[in-house]
């Protein structure tokens, strides 16, 4: 049986493990966390609607359901010329490698003064503590926003900042203390969320006005301070608590590896998720045999200007790798590419409803789904956990 080593136990790594097992490979998965974290539904932790455990799926349970080997270890370097992965506890050799370790984050001055819903999972609980403390106090200023990556716009993630802020608005409203709080949404770009399309932008504006959420757009962020955010013109947005999502860039392990990277440190792949090695003209890669694949948030995504890194794209890449590797081993030329599957698809929660957001080459749509949208997203969380554990059937393509 051919052996595959997968690095990372997120959307990309777990899906790859499941589908490579289905294709008959022997699979080992290395992760520094012992659980798969369902990031999209973590937005409810800060407002107490979900518990931390609700968002975690133990990797041991996924291992039992799909029969892969699991190693909890921290990857420190990948040396593809040596077919080796260096970890804190041990060094591992591989026959085939799938890199699925997510991304790193852009650095910001004063980053100790904000928390991110897209950072380490435990930060979601710290965000909850900060919001709870302000609720106890009875009033305050809360600012939430996201940043850009000029070298690679596909790594910008704003949706969860909208979602957490809308949920906080609803929480305060239910408690009857919304009027005592100033909520502000901030971003350095003039039109945050523009890649979702013009109609979505208009709708977001209507939402901000309706919910009395202030906007602070179009000024570059200089630094974060304990009591607010300072911008390029030295103006300051005062904030008792700041939630900020830095844009993604290359994982720090990639800088300590011999994989080809783009300017922001993401791994360069082709449409089939094969890592584009350029150091060895005579390598097997040149003969159509690829040993290293990269998927999910770790890669330099190709595609239209509005492309975005999302969980469902990570999963398409993972399923394609399982198919492509099987075909390669069988000596077949059949391959599946990911680029035709690039779209933006999400249900953006607002605490009491949601908006269905879809963007493809034809344009963008945002369809309001009062009440039902919230429960649809909850239902997806249930589906995600239980279908991966093999407890309910998979819906094709989901």
Ligand X SMILES: Cc1cc2nc3c(=O)[nH]c(=O)nc-3n(C[C@H](O)[C@H](O)[C@H](O)COP(=O)(O)OP(=O)(O)OC[C@H]3O[C@@H](n4cnc5c(N)ncnc54)[C@H](O)[C@@H]3O)c2cc1C
CA distance 352 to 332: 50
- Paired with 220 in beta bridges are none
Residue 219 found at the interface with ligand X (CB under 6 A): no
- Among 148, 296, 353, 364, the residue binding ligand X under the rule CB under 6 A is 296
Query: Is residue 101 part of the contact set for ligand X (CB under 6 A)?
Result: yes
Integer-rounded Cα Rg, in Å, for the chain is: 21
| 117 scored as a contact of ligand X (CB under 6 A) | yes
CB of 307 to ligand X, least distance (A): 12
Residue among 148, 154, 153 at smallest CA distance from 217:
148
d(CA 113, CA 122): 16
3-state helix/strand/coil string of 106-171: CCCCCHHHCECCCCCCCHHHHHHHHHHHHHHHCCEEEEEEECCCCCCHHHCCCHHHHHHHHHHHHH
40 interacts with ligand X by CB under 6 A? yes
CB of 179 to ligand X, least distance (A): 28
39 versus 186: smaller Cβ distance to ligand X = 39
* CB nearer to ligand X: pick between 39 and 94: 39
241-245 vs 96-99, strand pairing mode:
unpaired
Contact 265, 151 (CB under 8 A): no
Question: Residue 30, interface with ligand X (CB under 6 A)?
Answer: yes
Give the DSSP H or E segment for 3.
Answer: strand 3-7
Among 100, 207, 221, 266, binds ligand X (CB under 6 A): 100
Can residue 321 be called a binding residue for ligand X (CB under 6 A)? Answer: no
Least distance (Å) from ligand X to the CB of residue 333? 27
11 touching ligand X, by CB under 6 A = yes
Q: How many residues does the chain have?
A: 398
Local structure of 358: helix, strand or coil: strand
Residue 140 engages ligand X in binding (rule: CB under 6 A): no
346 near ligand X, judged by CB under 6 A? yes
x/- mask, ligand X, residues 228-257, rule CB under 6 A, reads -------------------------x----
CB of 384 to ligand X, least distance (A): 10
List contacts with ligand X (CB under 6 A).
8-13, 30-33, 39-40, 42-43, 74-75, 100-102, 117-118, 157, 159-160, 253, 296-298, 309-312, 314, 346
């Amino acid at each position: 049986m051919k052996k595959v080593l997968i690095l990372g136990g997120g959307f990309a790594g777990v899906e790859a493990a499941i589908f490579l097992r289905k294709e008959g490979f022997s699979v080992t998965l290395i992760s520094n966390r012992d659980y798969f974290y369902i990031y999209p539904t973590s937005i409810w932790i800060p407002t107490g609607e979900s518990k931390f455990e609700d968002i975690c799926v133990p990797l041991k349970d996924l291992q039992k359901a799909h029969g892969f080997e699991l190693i909890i270890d921290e990857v420190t370097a990948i040396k593809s010329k040596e077919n080796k992965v260096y970890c804190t506890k041990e060094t591992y050799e591989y026959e085939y490698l799938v890199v699925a370790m997510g991304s790193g984050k852009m650095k910001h001055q004063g980053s100790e003064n904000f928390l991110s819903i897209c950072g380490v999972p435990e930060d979601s609980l710290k965000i909850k503590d900060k919001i709870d403390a302000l609720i106890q106090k009875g009033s305050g200023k809360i600012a939430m926003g996201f940043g850009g990556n000029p070298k690679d716009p596909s790594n910008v993630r704003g949706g969860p900042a909208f979602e957490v802020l809308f949920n906080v608005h609803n929480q305060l409203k239910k408690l009857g203390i919304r009027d005592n709080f100033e909520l502000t949404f901030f971003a350095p770009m003039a039109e945050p969320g523009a890649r979702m399309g013009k109609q979505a932008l208009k709708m977001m504006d209507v939402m901000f006005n309706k919910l009395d959420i202030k906007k602070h757009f179009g000024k570059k962020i200089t630094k974060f301070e304990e009591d607010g955010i300072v911008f390029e013109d030295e103006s300051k947005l005062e904030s008792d608590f700041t939630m900020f999502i830095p844009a993604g860039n290359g994982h720090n392990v990639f800088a300590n590896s011999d994989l080809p990277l783009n300017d922001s440190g993401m791994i360069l792949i082709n449409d089939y998720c094969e890592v584009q090695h350029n150091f060895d003209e005579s390598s097997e890669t040149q003969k159509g045999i690829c040993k290293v694949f990269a998927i999910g948030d770790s890669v330099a995504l190709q595609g239209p200007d509005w492309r975005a890194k999302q969980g469902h794209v990570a999963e398409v890449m993972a399923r394609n790798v399982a198919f492509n590797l099987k075909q390669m081993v069988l000596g077949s030329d059949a391959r599946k590419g990911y680029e035709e599957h690039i779209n933006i698809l999400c249900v953006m929660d607002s605490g009491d409803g949601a908006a269905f957001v879809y963007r493809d080459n034809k344009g963008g749509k945002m369809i309001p789904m009062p009440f039902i949208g919230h429960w649809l997203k909850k239902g997806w969380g249930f589906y995600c956990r239980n279908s991966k554990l093999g407890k309910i059937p998979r819906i094709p393509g989901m």
